[in-house]
Amino acid sequence: MLRIRYARNFVVALLLIALGLILGGMLPAHLFAEAPTTTTTTTTTVPPENPPVITSVVANDVTDGQWADATPWADVKQRPVIEYTSLSARSGVASPAYTQAYAVWMRVHDLSFGLYPGSTGPGRIPSGQRGPETVPATGRLNLLGYFNSGFYEPPLVGGQLAGFYTNKKTFFPFTNGLATLVTYVDGSADVIAWPYGARVPSNVVTARQNLTLMVANHHVVNLGKNFYYWGLTLTVAPNGWRSGIGVDSRGNLIYAAANYQSPASLAALFVRLGAVRAMELDINQAWPLYTTFSGPNAVGGVMRIANPHQYVDRFLRAGTTKDFVAVYRRNKATVPPPW
């Protein structure tokens, strides 16, 4: 018992000495700290990302292609979720050699997208399955903007049909290899050459096909010499208003539109805008449109495409004829778009 008592006193003495050394600053306190508990935490970090830096095609024009915040009221952590710009672009004709192009960049991580049929397009959809034919009332609180979709589906030039999937229903079958704007259950979006055949995978929320890719792997693809494959213009010339959608290397979407565009010049514009892949949407002045809103509940609409043949509230009106894509603030990645 005596030996145990001496040993205990010796240990206590050592502890007191160590405490005195710590208080005196001679030994670092962390040597006597409790061993940390090791835990594993999984976090999702969104890398810093911004719209591409655009090099002007006009000499000494430093204001050309400067991005601006389109929806400051919806910014996430002081980061714009939608940015817009106008820029000088080469046209598809000799005169004018340049035209004004318009682009909108969308930070997909903070957004969600809804695809809606119109009252007549795409055709052959039963009236009871066409949905709201406008931005649904349940979505207007979080509505940031909307933009035009692609061609009518039956049939595309070249005899290929365009697939159309939304609200858990395939309205028109899909064709392998056609360019497709796709949104997914995890909140991501992409522009792809459709690889799934007639089957729509369970992780797809919306999918809209139109022709084939114009840009792949950052390069303009071989567009062929058949201008009519890319749609008939009202003047039956290859050049006019054209619009399209692309995806950048971080998975963000880029919309662009301009007048006097040939298929090749539109594709080249998307390469300048940093698109990895891009597809054409609608053409002719009757359709290219991108509207953003200055506040919730669809107030303060602003047209980001200077197309005098369009009107800002086109897809807020009941019975809009053509299908379109609405852009919303994201609540959760897994929440389906309002219908």
Residues 6 or more apart whose Cβ sits within 8 Å of residue 118: 130, 133, 319, 320, 321, 322, 323, 324
Q: Does the structure show a pLDDT above 90 at 33? A: no
Q: What are the tens digits of pLDDT across the range 1-21?
A: 434 444 444 444 444 344 443
Q: Does the structure show a pLDDT above 90 at 329? A: yes
**In the numeric block, which tokens belong to residue 60?**
């000494």
Q: What is the DSSP string of 180-219?
A: EEEEETTS-EEEEE--STTPPPTTEEEEEE-SS-SEETTE
Q: Residue 42 — very low, low, confident or very high, per pLDDT cuts 50/70/90?
A: very low
Query: Cα(227)–Cα(157) distance, rounded to whole angstroms?
Result: 10
Q: Residue 154 — very low, low, confident or very high, per pLDDT cuts 50/70/90?
A: low
- CA neighbor of 186 nearest in space, from 119, 108, 249, 259: 108
Alpha helices for 146-304 (secondary structure H): 263-272
Q: What are the tens digits of pLDDT across the range 231-265?
A: 888 877 789 999 999 999 999 999 999 999 999 99
224 vs 278, more confident: 278
- pLDDT of the residue at 235: 79
- pLDDT of the residue at 161: 78
Once rounded to an integer, what is the mean pLDDT over residues 280-305?
A: 97
Q: Domain residue spans in the chain? A: 2-27, 68-329
User: Residues 133, 135, 138, CA angle at the centre, nearest 5°?
Assistant: 120
Q: Is 312 left (phi over 0), alpha (psi -120 to 50) or beta?
A: alpha
Query: Cα(212)–Cα(77) distance, rounded to whole angstroms?
Result: 37
Q: Does the structure show a pLDDT above 90 at 82? A: yes
Q: Rounded to whole angstroms, what are the CA distances from 30 to 12, 16, 27, 37, 282?
A: 19, 16, 9, 14, 66
- pLDDT of the residue at 124: 84
Evaluate whether 221 touches 215 at the Cβ level (below 8 Å). yes
59 vs 217, more confident: 217
Q: Does the structure show a pLDDT above 70 at 40? A: no
Once rounded to an integer, what is the mean pLDDT over residues 272-300?
A: 97
- pLDDT of the residue at 108: 97
Q: What are the tens digits of pLDDT across the range 293-320?
A: 999 999 999 999 999 999 999 999 998 9
For a pLDDT cut of 70, what percent of the chain falls above it?
83
Q: Length of the chain in residues, anyone?
A: 339
Q: What are the tens digits of pLDDT across the range 174-227?
A: 999 999 999 999 999 999 999 999 999 999 999 999 999 999 999 999 999 888
Q: What are the tens digits of pLDDT across the range 107-126?
A: 999 999 999 999 998 888 88
Whether the pTM exceeds 0.75: the reply is yes
Once rounded to an integer, what is the mean pLDDT over residues 71-78?
A: 96
Ranked by mean pLDDT, the top range of 64-68, 81-85, 171-175, 315-319 is 81-85
**In the numeric block, which tokens belong to residue 79?**
């980061």
The single-letter DSSP state of residue 35 is P
Helix (H) or strand (E) holding 22: helix 2-23
> What is the chain's mean pLDDT, rounded?
85
- pLDDT of the residue at 330: 96
Query: Cα(304)–Cα(313) distance, rounded to whole angstroms?
Result: 12
